């Protein structure tokens, strides 16, 4: 079966070669594909990067296009937070080529774009996704325009520019930036390499789950996951679901989503038992990477959290800053958005023997 896009709201299907990024009804698209079968014996001979899971990614059979794109991303360390808490592990995803977990999704999305013959892409971002898309697009010899908000960290803007992308700075909210990019996609007839809308991005972020499974020889009890647009949360959820379907694990980890109190539409929807989030009027937060007032995949994110009997916690600015300092004191220098995860962990009421994984998503030097 060739994979297809299917609207999450109304079920309409589209060919992936049609380059649509959302349904005519406005719904977001999921990828429908053949059931994944994981050949564990074959994994042993594969290289220690996220591409050891290429057989469970939807590329053409025997496609080698990823080899033109990879920078050796993935297989990041999974290690103890500190010696006093043996059950809490951190996954050091800032040890990626562009210093954030977005490389997982960007590498797969750009490799797929290359396979589809795409010559030019547009994306919008609060910083790290744009950087990752810019880097991989350049490497794949694909032209790239990145839409960023004027308030984005100067270091992130510089990083995107360094990768040769054409940066288009937009004065407005994160939603205005996305709208400007979507308008340009339409008018300029370009491929929308959106980490939010393009389902192939999640085929990359799902390797977060596969790596954890191999590194721990199983699944943890709980995953702390930062959530703005949900690209790591949904990727992890899809990955562990595939492992379940292959009987390689016997329970899904609980998803504990973390949002910044100043911008927490998903936390609001979760406590109000809503199916999707309502757009909120967010306040500025140090956690710029998760300051998303209107997450497009809110229904899927809430479904995933509920399906794993998970929860959503919020943390305030003071807690974020404190957590950043505490993490640096353990050797991990992260950006404020990532400190949010640790701040959430500190608030989470865990059981004494609960195995928990905290992702360290973005490097400290990316932010001020
Ligand atoms: C993108 C990003 C997040 C949030 O990911 P979403 O897909 O928006 O949920 C968290 N931390 C860092 C460092 C990021 O770059
Ligand atoms: Zn639809």
Residues flanking ligand 1, CB < 6 Å: 100, 102, 128-129, 226-233, 289-290, 292, 335, 337-338, 361-362
Ligand 1 atom having least distance to the Cα of 195: 7
Q: What does the block give as tokens for 323?
A: 């957590």
Q: Are residues 175 and 298 in the same domain?
A: no
The CA angle 239-247-200, to the nearest 5 degrees, is 20
| Residue at a domain's end among 129, 158, 192 | 192
Question: Average per-residue pLDDT in the chain?
Answer: 96
Q: Are residues 137 and 237 in the same domain?
A: no
Distance of CA 347 to the CA centre of its chain: 23
Pocket test for ligand 1, best of 226, 297, 324, 333 (most atoms within 8 A of CB): 226
- Give residue 153's pLDDT: 86
- Give residue 44's pLDDT: 86
- Closest ligand (CA of 29): 2
| Residue at a domain's end among 165, 192, 219 | 192
Centre of ligand 1 to C-alpha 153, Å, is 14
- Give residue 151's pLDDT: 85
- Residue 73 covered by a domain: no
Domain span holding position 351: 78-101+200-366
Task: Provide the pLDDT confidence category of residue 61 given band limits of 50, 70 and 90.
Answer: confident
Q: Is the pLDDT of residue 107 over 70?
A: yes
Give the DSSP per-residue string, 169-195: EESS-HHHHHHHHHHHHHHTT-EE--T
Centre of ligand 1 to C-alpha 41, Å, is 33
Taking the chain, what is the end-to-end CA distance rounded to the nearest angstrom?
A: 48
Q: Are 265 and 295 in contact (CB under 8 A)?
A: yes
- Closest ligand (CA of 30): 2
Q: What does the block give as tokens for 156?
A: 């992130």
Split into its structural domains, the chain has a count of 2
Q: Are 256 and 310 in contact (CB under 8 A)?
A: yes
Ligand 1 atom having least distance to the Cα of 295: 8
- Closest ligand (CA of 8): 2
* Helix runs in 4-96, H state only: 40-43
Q: Is the pLDDT of residue 319 over 70?
A: yes
Q: What does the block give as tokens for 129?
A: 């996704």
Domain CATH for 168 = 3.40.50.1100
- Give residue 290's pLDDT: 94
Average pLDDT value for residue range 140-168: 94
| Nearest by Cα to 65 from 27, 108, 35 | 108
Q: Is the pLDDT of residue 1 over 70?
A: no
Centre of ligand 1 to C-alpha 2, Å, is 30
Measuring CA to CA, how many Å separate 121 from each of 192, 194, 198?
6, 9, 12
DSSP three-state, residue 264: coil
pLDDT in tens, 71-93: 999 999 999 999 988 899 999 99
Q: Is the pLDDT of residue 14 over 90?
A: yes
- Residue 278 covered by a domain: yes
Q: Are residues 138 and 185 in the same domain?
A: yes
Q: Are residues 258 and 222 in the same domain?
A: yes
Please identify which residue in the block is written with the tokens 């949360």.
Answer: 233
Average pLDDT value for residue range 134-163: 95
Pocket test for ligand 1, best of 98, 100, 340 (most atoms within 8 A of CB): 100
Q: Are residues 85 and 221 in the same domain?
A: yes
Average pLDDT value for residue range 334-340: 97
Q: Are residues 222 and 344 in the same domain?
A: yes
């Amino acid at each position: 079966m060739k994979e297809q896009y299917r609207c999450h709201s109304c079920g309409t299907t589209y060919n992936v070669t049609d380059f649509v990024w959302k349904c005519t009804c406005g719904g977001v698209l999921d990828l429908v594909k053949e059931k994944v079968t994981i050949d564990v014996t074959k994994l042993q001979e594969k290289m220690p990067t996220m591409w050891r899971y290429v057989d469970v990614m939807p590329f053409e059979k025997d496609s080698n296009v990823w080899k033109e794109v990879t920078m050796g991303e993935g297989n990041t360390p999974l290690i103890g937070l500190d010696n006093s808490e043996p059950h809490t592990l951190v996954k050091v995803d800032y040890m990626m080529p562009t210093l954030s977990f977005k490389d997982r999704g960007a590498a797969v999305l750009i490799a797929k774009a290359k396979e589809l013959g795409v010559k030019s892409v547009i994306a919008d971002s609060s910083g790290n996704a744009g950087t990752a898309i810019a880097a991989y697009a350049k490497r794949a010899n694909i032209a790239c325009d990145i839409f960023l908000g004027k308030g984005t960290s100067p270091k992130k803007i510089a990083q995107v520019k360094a990768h040769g992308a054409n940066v288009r700075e937009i004065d407005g909210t994160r939603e205005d930036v996305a709208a400007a990019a979507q308008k340009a996609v339409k008018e300029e007839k370009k491929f929308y390499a959106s980490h939010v809308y393009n389902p192939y991005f999640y085929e990359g972020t799902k390797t977060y789950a596969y790596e954890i499974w191999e590194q721990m020889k199983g699944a943890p009890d709980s995953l702390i996951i930062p959530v703005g647009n949900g690209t790591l949360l949904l990727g992890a959820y899809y990955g562990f679901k595939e492992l379940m379907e292959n009987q390689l694990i016997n329970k899904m980890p609980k998803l504990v989503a973390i949002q910044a109190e100043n911008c927490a539409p998903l936390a609001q929807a979760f406590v109000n038992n809503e199916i999707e989030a309502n757009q909120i009027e967010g306040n500025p937060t140090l956690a710029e990477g998760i300051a998303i007032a209107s997450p497009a995949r809110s229904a899927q994110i809430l479904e995933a959290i509920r399906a794993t009997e998970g929860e959503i916690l919020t943390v305030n600015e003071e807690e974020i800053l404190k957590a950043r300092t505490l993490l640096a004191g353990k050797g991990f220098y992260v950006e404020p958005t990532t400190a949010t995860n640790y701040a959430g962990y500190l608030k989470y009421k865990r059981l004494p023997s609960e195995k928990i994984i905290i992702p360290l998503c973005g490097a400290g030097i990316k932010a001020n």
